[in-house]
Amino acid sequence: MTARKRIGLYPGTFDPITLGHIDIIERAVKMVDELVIGVAVNRDKGPLFALEERVKMVTAEMAGIAKKNGVVIKVIPFESLLMKFAEQMKANFIVRGLRAVSDFEYEFQMVGMNQKLNDDIETVFLMADVRYQFIASRLVKEIARLGGDIDAFVPAAVAEALRKTFAKA
């Protein structure tokens, strides 16, 4: 019998991808054969970057990580209900990152609801390295908008994209 391929799904808005997200991805790939990074359309959050740009930025950072860890990483946009998307992707589990206590309440509720929708797909939580735990896309955008230095929070290409976006504004 061949072992079943372990597929993890890491969903998020990634507006834009930060070193915090990347740290979680580097931890998640150790647990799977394939990691799907689901980029949510998330119109409610009023994203700064268009969906295609977010997907492109995430994809650009993944080649090195996939090669180094010998795993397949797919970056796929989605608009449907998370659990439906997870089923489509044949994911065994969903990966979420936990920062401070502030993330806990929301994530706690989400897991409760998602278990009702599909109890076979587990949610696992990973913590980023202490150096990256405080990073949030929302704050990175705020700092960039005000002309601050964001190089310590995002990959170089993302920092460049943020600078360009706010230079235009």
Q: Which residues are near ligand ADP by CB under 6 A?
A: 12-14, 18, 20-21, 24, 96-97, 99, 103, 128, 132-133, 135-137
- Distance of alpha carbon 160 from the chain centroid: 20
Active site residue 21: yes
100, 63 Cβ separation under 8 angstroms: no
Catalytic residue among 27, 56, 99, 163: 99
102 classed as catalytic: no
Q: Closest CB to ligand ADP among 87 and 103?
A: 103
Q: What is the CA radius of gyration of the chain?
A: 16
To ligand ADP, the closest distance from the beta carbon of 98 in angstroms equals 6
- When the beta carbons of 129 and 160 are compared against ligand ADP, the nearer one is 129
The continuous run of DSSP H or E covering 142 comes out as helix 137-145
* Minimum gap (Å) between residue 133 Cβ and ligand ADP: 5
* Residue 99 annotated as catalytic: yes
Please, what is the minimum distance in Å from the beta carbon of residue 53 to ligand ADP?
14
Q: How far is CA 132 from the centre of its chain?
A: 14
Q: Tell me which residue has tokens 């946009």.
A: 77
Catalytic residue among 5, 30, 45, 164: 45
**Minimum Å distance from CB 76 to ligand ADP?**
15
Tell me how far apart the alpha carbons of residues 76 and 104 are, in angstroms, rounded to a whole number: 26
Looking at the Cβ atoms of 70 and 136, the one nearer to ligand ADP is 136
> Is position 5 annotated as part of the catalytic site?
no
Beta strand segments in 2-133, E = 7-12, 34-40, 72-78, 93-98, 122-127
Residues with Cβ within 8 Å of 55's Cβ and at least 6 positions away in sequence, in order, are 39, 75, 76, 77
Active site residues: 21, 45, 99, 137
